[in-house]
A = this chain, B = another copy of it.
Amino acid sequence: VSVDHTDESSNTVQVTRKTAPTIYDIARLAEVSPSTVSRALNKPGRLNQGTERRIRAAADELGYRLNPIARALHTGKTQTIGLVLSDITNPVYFDLVRGAERAVASEQYTLVLAESQESAELERETVSRIGRSVDGLILVASRLGDQDIIELSSDKPLVLVNREVPGVASLVPDVAQGIREALDHLKSLGHRSIAFLRGPTASWMSSHRWEVLFDEAVSRGLHVIEIGPNSPTLEGGADSLRRVRASGVTAVIAFNDLMALGLLMASQQDGFAVPEEISIIGFDDIFGTAFTTPAVTSVRSPLGDLGEDAARELLAVIDQTERTAHRPLHTTLIERQSTGIPRTG
């Protein structure tokens, strides 16, 4: 490790940072009142041209930059929104975070990021830690109970992603299309009996996908079972292998790609052939699904768009502007090599 410090800090002498100029400094320099400075800077064009120019010149000269804290205290707006995820390192969230970050940055907002680590308790703590200093919250795959979420949304603008709660704004991509494509794909390959590898109990999205999958499978005359709950991780997928083999199904649809990848690797280690003995489909099409051999067939979710739209939706609620029409967010099957004709089919 290399750690360098300025001479000052290594002497533990405080680096005296020049105190930032305020509108009072500008007022003095431009010979106007502070209120006039504030107006000049906030609503250009409402003042005498000369005064405004003088004020701007003074501000530039002093290197003035607005203190957002002081403004926030008065306006009650911090120009900041909070994004709460269950697990920062799950690759599913990368695109979502990026989409949200770009959407807010383009409106001069700032993103505050927090993680709940798959725990309702920690999520509650996290929300209360950041809640008071953001203008609104995006809760992704929230592990909180419906009641908690309803209360939260009554005192702060709130948008849910991949979670639905009655009366609360939420964005969930239409999962049916991708699931139908997945089932049609499996059926056409000759599969008759499939399993859904479910995620954690607290995951609304896992139940949601299961319910849609169940109905669609039944209507196609496919046998369908549920295996789990499992941790939504590589390990969770790997750990389910025994139950998958014991179940006798020829195909598995996992709650997410991490589980699908885990199951794939565990299968290969066991010499259980993919896709000959078991076809595997993941969910979300995260980074890495295309890297394995066989590459993982997956139902792609529009994560980047989801993050972006959630942010825009939230900003609209905060600013009380009309939301623009929503683009449809749907899922679609990406066929790769982890699905094939079943040996027993």
Judge whether A133 and B69 touch: CB under 8 Å: yes
* Contact residues of A between 295 and 327, Cβ < 8 Å to B: 309, 313, 317, 320, 322-323, 326-327
Judge whether A6 and B167 touch: CB under 8 Å: yes
Bound form: Cα–Cα A130–B68 in Å? 9
| Chain B residue with the shortest CB-CB distance to A317 | B9
Judge whether A12 and B320 touch: CB under 8 Å: yes
Q: Which residues does chain B contribute within 8 Å of A329, judged by CB atoms?
A: 1
Q: Which residues does chain B contribute within 8 Å of A89, judged by CB atoms?
A: 94-95, 97-98, 287
Separation in Å of the A265 CB from the closest CB of chain B? Answer: 8
Separation in Å of the A63 CB from the closest CB of chain B? Answer: 10
Judge whether A111 and B114 touch: CB under 8 Å: yes
- A219 contacts B by Cβ under 8 Å: no
Bound form: Cα–Cα A66–B154 in Å? 18
Q: Which residues does chain B contribute within 8 Å of A113, judged by CB atoms?
A: 97, 101, 111-113
Q: Which residues does chain B contribute within 8 Å of A14, judged by CB atoms?
A: 320
* Contact residues of A between 143 and 163, Cβ < 8 Å to B: 153-156
| Chain B residue with the shortest CB-CB distance to A153 | B6
Chain A interface bracket (under 10, 10 to 19, 20 to 34, 35 or more)? 35 or more
Judge whether A110 and B129 touch: CB under 8 Å: yes
Bound form: Cα–Cα A18–B155 in Å? 7
| Chain B residue with the shortest CB-CB distance to A168 | B4
Interface SS majority for chain A:
loop
| Chain B residue with the shortest CB-CB distance to A290 | B265
Separation in Å of the A135 CB from the closest CB of chain B? Answer: 11
- A292 contacts B by Cβ under 8 Å: yes
Please tell me which stretch of A47-55, A70-78, A247-255, A270-278 contacts chain B, meaning at least 4 of its Cβ atoms lie within 8 angstroms of it: A70-78
Bound form: Cα–Cα A40–B130 in Å? 22
Residues of A at the B interface (CB closer than 8 Å) are 1-7, 9, 12, 14-15, 17-18, 20, 65-70, 72-73, 78, 80, 88-89, 91, 94-95, 97-98, 101-102, 105, 108, 110-115, 126, 128-130, 132-133, 153-156, 164, 166-174, 261, 287-288, 291-293, 309, 313, 317, 320, 322-323, 326-329
What are 28 inter-chain pairs, A to B, with CB distance below 8 A? A1-B171, A1-B173, A2-B164, A4-B167, A4-B168, A4-B169, A6-B168, A7-B167, A9-B169, A9-B317, A14-B320, A17-B154, A18-B155, A65-B128, A65-B132, A68-B132, A69-B133, A80-B133, A88-B94, A89-B97, A105-B115, A108-B129, A111-B112, A111-B113, A112-B113, A288-B291, A291-B291, A293-B293
